[in-house]
Structure 1
Amino acid sequence: MKSHQAAAAGIALVPEDRRIIAGLTVEENLQLAQIAPPKGWSLDRIYDLFPRLGERRKQEGVTLSGGEQQMLAIARALARDIKVLLLDEPYEGLAPVIVQEIAKTLGVIRDQGITTVIVEQNAVAALKLADRAVILDTGSVVFDGSAAEVLENSDLRAQYLAI
C-alpha cells in the first residue's frame, strides 16, 4: 500500500525517526498534515491534548526536545482523519517522565476509538497501555493474547522480554 493510499484509508504512521520537517514551525508541520482532506483534529484540540506544542507553536519543529518532537509526530497523525495509528518505538530515547506523558496521551487517543498499534522495546510501558500483546521471536509469533497475561506471567516475561 502506498502512503497516500494508507492516508486515504485512515491509517497513520509515526515512524521511529519522527520525520519532523526542517524549516517549518510546529504549527506549519500540523497545517501541512491537513493540506488535503479529510482533516482530523483541529489545532485547538491538538493543543489541548499537547499543551507544550501550543506553547511552542511558532518554534521550528526540529529544535524541540525529543519528547516534544514525538508529541508533534503524534499530533501530525491526529491532524488527519485517522482510524488506525501505527507507532514505531514511540518511547525510544525519552526520559521516563516523558514516556509516562506520552503513554497517558496514547490512552486518551485509544479512548477516542482510534486503534493503536505499538512496536516498542520498552515492553512494560507498552503492555500497561495495551489490551493485546503479540510477541515475535525471530519472525514467528510465540504469544498472541492479552497484555495482562504477559504482565502476569513471569516465565513468559523472563523468556521473551528479559523482565
Structure 2
Amino acid sequence: MKQNFCKHYKGDCFPPTNRYCRVCPDAEPFCNRLWEKVLELSNSNGGKPVALPKTRAVMLPNNNEKDNHNIVHLKINVTWNLTKEDYLHYISTGHARMGRKEQRKDPFVSPSLTRQEPYVHSITELLGGISNPLVLDVQKKQLEK
C-alpha cells in the first residue's frame, strides 16, 4: 500500500489504519460519491452477478448488514471482498496487487493485500473510465493539501 496515496489518509498501512477510508471525514463528497457508484453497479442486476468485462470475474452486492457500505464481492471460483479502501487506493495509484503481510508498504499492493487487478480496472471502465469526472474529482481530492 502506498502510504501517501491520499493526503487525507492517516495511518501506517497496518490494520486497522489500512481501512481508514471507511471513516475518513474528508471522504465527502467525492470519494463517497464514487464508491456509491460502485455499490450501485454491484446492485444493478437485481442482486444477480454483474459481469466484469475482460475478466472472468463477476461482482455481487454485499448483503451483510454490518459492512454493507464498505465492501462489494467479486467472484470467479471463490468469492472475495473488494473494499472501499482497495478501490480508492487503485484510483490514486493505478495499482491493487496481492501481497504478504511483510509487503504492507509496497506501493503496488492493495490495502487488504488481496489481488484486485484487473477487476478494479474493469469496474472503473463500467463507471465511465479513468477520465470519468467522478474519478477525476477523487484523484484531485486525494492530492489536495
Normalising by the residue count of structure 1, what TM-score does the alignment of the two structures yield?
0.29
Instruction: Tell me which protein shows more helix as a share of its residues.
Output: 1
Instruction: Tell me which protein shows more strand as a share of its residues.
Output: 1
| Higher alpha-carbon Rg | 1
Which one has more relative contact order, counting CA pairs under 8 Å at least 6 apart? 2
Normalising by the residue count of structure 2, what TM-score does the alignment of the two structures yield?
0.31
